[in-house]
Chains A and B, each alone.
Chain A
C-alpha cells in the first residue's frame, strides 16, 4: 500500500484506499474504469466544490436508503399483521405494567404534597392561661424561626369547632365549664421531621405551654411507601425493558435468519454492515413504536375501566379523586423509550448475528 505513488489516486491501483474516502460511488467507479479520465484536472480546478457535491450526493444516497428501508420494513410489518401485532402486544404489556405503577405513584405523590401542607403542630396551653397571656405566648411562638404561621384557637372557638365536627349541640352544652385549653396551630417552615421535632422541643420549653402535639409518623410512613413504590417501579421498568429487548431481539433474530441468503449475497457484492443492519433497525424501531402506541391504548383503556369505581370510592370518602392520565410529555417519553428499546434490541440482535454470517 505504501509503495503506490501519491498520484496513484488517478489510477485504479488506488482503489481500496480511495474507496474508503468520502467519495461517491460514481466517482470511484469512473476512476477505476477509465484511469486516464480521472481526478487531476477536476481536482486542481474545482477540487473543493467537487468534493462537496460528492459528499452531498453521498448524503442524499444515504437519506434515500434510510427512507427506502423505513418504508420497506414497515411494509414487511404490515404484510404479516397478526404475528407482528402479537410481538407489539408483548412489548405493550411489558411497558404497561411499570408505566401504570409509575402513574399510581404519581398520584400518591400528589396526595403527599397535600398532606405536607396539612402537616401542623398544635400547642396546647395550660388551662390557667388567660387570653392576654395567650397572645404573648403566640408572639413568642411566631418569633421562632421554624414557624411559618400560627392560628390561635380560644377555648370557645375550640368548643364550637368540636361541637360542629361532632354534630352534637346539646351534650357539650350541658358542661358547666369549658374544659378546653387555648391552642395554637402552627404551620412549620419545613415539614422535615427532624426540624419539626426540634421546633416542638423548643416550644415545649415556653412558659405556659402544656403540651405540643406532633404526629408525623403517618407522613413518614407514606413517604417510605412512596419511595418503596418508586424503587419497585424502577426495578420493574428495567426488568421489563430487558424483556422488550429480548422480545424484539428474538423477533429480529428470526427475521435475520429468514433473510440470511439475501444478506450473504449483498455482502458478497460489497454491502457494508451498516447497510445490512439498516432495515432490521427500522423493523425494531417500528416494533417499538407499535408497542408504545398499544401500551398507551391499554393505559387509556385501563383508566376508563377503573375510573368509575375509583370515583365512587373517592366520593364515599367525601373526596374527589380522578385517576392520573399520561399527559403529552409522559406519552412522548413512553413512546420514545419503547422506540429506542426496539431499535436497541434490533441492533444487538443483528450485530450479534452478523458476525456469524459469512458470505460463501
Chain B
C-alpha cells in the first residue's frame, strides 16, 4: 500500500528531517510510527498525504509515485486517505454532524446517502447522540472521535493518524486505539504516529522507529 524508496526530506537546505527511508507497508496492515518529537513522524505522514514532496527518493502509494501527481489531481488523491489530526482540525462553527459530513460534501455525495453514512460513522465512534452538538461542547476525547469519524466516513483504504491520543488519558487512549484496530480488522490499512510507547507495546502491531529522521527499528513486521 505504501512504499518509501530512498526517501529524504530536507527543509531549507539545513538538515534532513528524513533521511534514506526504505520501508513498505502492506495492504491491510496496521503500523505504528514512533520516535521522540522531532524525529520526523509528522514529516513522514505529510509526505504520504502529499502535503510535501520528498527531496529525494520516491513515495509510492497504491502503486503510484505520488510526487508525479499534478496539482489538480492532489485533491482527488487526498480523498482516498482518511487522516486523523492531533489537533482534530474540526470546524468550530459547524455541528458534529456537519463536520463529519464534510468529506462527503466535498465529493458531492447525495445528501440522504451522506446523512446515512455520517450517522453510521458517528455510531461507530459512539457519538451518534451528539450529532447536533458543536465541537466546543465536546471533551477532548469526544472531539478526537469526531475527527476519526470524519476520517473514516468515506471508508478510505488508508487511514493515517498523527498523535491521535496526544492529550488523552490512558483509558481514552486505549479506547481510541481499539477503534483503529476495529477499522484495521475490516481491511483498512492503518498508520499511526504516536510516542505513547507503553500503549503501543501492548497492542502488538508492527512498529517503525524513527530517530533524527532515520529508520532505526522495524519490529513485528509480518
| Chain A residues near B (Cβ < 8 Å) | 1, 3-4, 8, 11-17, 19-20, 24-26, 28-29, 32-33, 57-58, 60-62, 64-65, 261-262, 264-273, 275, 358-360
Question: Chain B residues with Cβ under 8 A from A12's Cβ?
Answer: 1, 27, 62, 80, 157
A270 adjacent to B63 (CB under 8 Å) = no
Complex CA distance for A12 and B107, rounded to whole angstroms:
18
Shortest beta-carbon contacts, A-B, top 6: A61-B108, A13-B63, A25-B107, A19-B76, A270-B79, A270-B78
In the complex, what residues of A have CB within 8 A of residue B77's CB?
Answer: 15-16, 19, 270
Q: List 23 A-B contacts (CB under 8 A).
A: A12-B157, A15-B62, A16-B73, A19-B73, A20-B73, A25-B79, A25-B104, A28-B80, A29-B154, A29-B156, A61-B107, A65-B108, A262-B93, A265-B89, A265-B91, A269-B79, A269-B83, A270-B75, A270-B78, A272-B76, A273-B75, A275-B75, A359-B51
Are the CB atoms of A267 and B157 closer together than 8 Å? no
Instruction: Identify the closest chain A residue to B78 (Cβ).
Output: A270
- What is the total of A-B residue contacts with beta carbons within 8 Å? 122
Q: Is there an interface contact between B79 and A61, defined as CB atoms closer than 8 Å?
A: no
Of the candidates B51, B73, B108, B110, the one having the most CB atoms from chain A within 10 angstroms of its own CB is B108
Cβ A61 vs Cβ B63 within 8 A: no
B 65-99 contacts with A by CB, 8 A: 65-66, 68-69, 72-73, 75-80, 83, 85, 89-91, 93
B64 close to A17 (CB less than 8 A): yes
Minimum C-beta distance from A261 to chain B (A): 7
B136 CB-CB contact with A under 8 Å: no
Q: How far is the CB of A38 from chain B (nearest CB, A)?
A: 12
Interface pair B108/A16, CB less than 8 Å apart: no
- Assess whether B72 is in contact with A270, with CB atoms less than 8 Å apart: no
A14 touches B75 (CB 8 A): no
Tell me the interface secondary structure of chain B in the complex: loop
Interface residues on B, range: 35 or more
Bound-complex Cα distance A14 to B76 (A): 12
Residue B106 interfacial (CB < 8 Å): yes
B residues 102-133 touching A (CB-CB < 8 Å): 102-111, 113
Q: Which residues of chain B are near A17, meaning CB under 8 Å?
A: 64
Residues of B within 8 A of A (CB): 1, 27, 49, 51, 61-66, 68-69, 72-73, 75-80, 83, 85, 89-91, 93, 102-111, 113, 150, 154-157, 187
Nearest CB of B to A55, in Å: 12
CB distance from A182 to the nearest CB of B (A): 84
- The distance in angstroms between the C-alpha atoms of A19 and B62, with both chains bound, is 12
| Nearest A residue to B106, CB-CB | A271
| Least Cβ–Cβ distance between B176 and chain A, in angstroms | 19
Known contacts A4-B64, A32-B156, A33-B157: A20-B108 contact under CB 8 Å:
no
Report which of A15, A261, A358, A360 forms a contact with B64, defined as CB distance below 8 A. A15
Is the CB–CB distance between B64 and A19 below 8 Å? no
Closest to A262 in B: B91
When the two chains form their complex, are residues A13 and B91 in contact, meaning their CB atoms are under 8 A apart? no
Residue of A nearest to B73 (CB): A20
Which one of B73, B104, B105 has the greatest number of beta carbons of chain A within 10 Å? B105
Residue from the list B61, B93, B102, B111 in contact with A269, Cβ < 8 A: B102
State the Cβ distance, B45 to closest chain A Cβ, in Å: 12
Q: Is the CB of A61 within 8 A of B64?
A: no
Residues of B close to A57: CB separation below 8 A: 110
9 more A-B contacts (CB under 8 A) besides A16-B66, A20-B76?
A: A3-B63, A15-B77, A16-B61, A28-B76, A29-B155, A266-B106, A270-B79, A271-B75, A272-B76
Docked complex Cα distance between A65 and B101 (Å): 14
